[in-house]
């Protein structure tokens, strides 16, 4: 979950969600200083003093780890996305390294002040696709009925659920509305949803996936391999 890194008032159009690379570098200096102080004290100080110095190293490193993680979160935002801050909704206009330029108080909500630490929550839609073997095991090459994407968004999680433990590999192909199925292109790269002697698969990393969807795209789900499973449900979570 992404949080506001700094408070905002009701009129501000920029939301800060991360530390900058320069600020992370300064935090890393804090770790180095704390480590030097500890090293210099070893042999001359004892007990509680060394414990306090060791705790400062741990705390400083925790700040670095948290700040570094935030730097990777810019990729989860995009222009046009709608986010919620408590009861207020905002629309993302532009994404920078550590900030979002936004339109405040949209969809009838009120622009108000928010404290740092407030969650930035993306509105989501769910796309579910059922592959049914009709009482028999699903065979390789089975196609689910095509699914129309209702709204533009970015896929941020995929889950695959079998009716029982078994094996399955599925691919997801995207095509424009009106194009034939042969025009579909895989969006999963090498990270295809897969069950391996299991009934559940869950992935929010989506390595290599083409995650962006446009309204009225068509998705085709194809079972490339399967064994021991009669029903499969593919669930895509889409940040709008």
pLDDT single digits (tens) 169-223: 999 999 999 999 999 999 999 999 999 999 999 999 899 999 999 999 999 999 9
Nearest residue to 100 (alpha-carbon basis) of 68, 126, 122? 122
Residue 118 sits at φ, ψ, to 5 deg, of -70, 135
Rounded to two decimals, the pTM is 0.64
Compute the distance between CA of residue 164 and CA of residue 230 in angstroms, rounded to an integer.
Answer: 8
Sheet holding 14-16, edge to edge: 2-3, 119-122, 82-85, 88-95, 99-103, 14-16
* DSSP-derived 3-state class of residue 21: helix
Compute the distance between CA of residue 133 and CA of residue 230 in angstroms, rounded to an integer.
Answer: 5
Compute the distance between CA of residue 74 and CA of residue 4 in angstroms, rounded to an integer.
Answer: 13
pLDDT for 215-236, tens place per residue?
999 999 999 999 999 999 999 9
CA distances from 127 to 101, 144, 156, 203, 227 (A): 29, 13, 12, 15, 24
Beta bridge partners of 159: 202, 235
């Amino acid at each position: 979950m992404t949080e506001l890194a700094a408070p905002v008032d009701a009129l501000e159009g920029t939301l800060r969600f991360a530390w900058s690379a320069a600020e992370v570098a300064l935090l890393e200096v804090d770790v180095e200083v704390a480590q030097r102080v500890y090293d210099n004290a070893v042999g001359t100080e004892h007990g509680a003093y060394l414990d306090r110095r060791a705790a400062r190293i741990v705390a400083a490193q925790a700040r670095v780890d948290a700040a570094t993680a935030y730097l990777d979160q810019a990729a989860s935002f995009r222009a046009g996305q709608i986010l919620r801050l408590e009861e207020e909704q905002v629309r993302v206009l532009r994404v920078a390294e550590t900030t979002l330029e936004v339109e405040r108080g949209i969809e009838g909500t009120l622009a108000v002040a928010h404290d740092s630490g407030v969650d930035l929550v993306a509105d989501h839609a769910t796309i579910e696709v059922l592959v049914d073997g009709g009482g028999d095991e699903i065979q390789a090459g089975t196609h689910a009925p095509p699914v129309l994407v209702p709204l533009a968004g970015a896929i941020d999680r995929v889950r695959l659920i079998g009716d029982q433990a078994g094996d399955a590999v599925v691919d997801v192909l995207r095509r424009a509305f009106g194009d034939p199925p042969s025009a579909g292109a895989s969006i999963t790269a090498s990270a295809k949803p897969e069950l391996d002697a299991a009934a559940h698969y869950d992935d929010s990393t989506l390595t290599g996936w083409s995650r962006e969807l446009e309204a009225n795209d068509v998705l085709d789900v194809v079972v490339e391999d399967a064994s021991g499973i009669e029903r499969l449900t593919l669930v895509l979570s889409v940040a709008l």
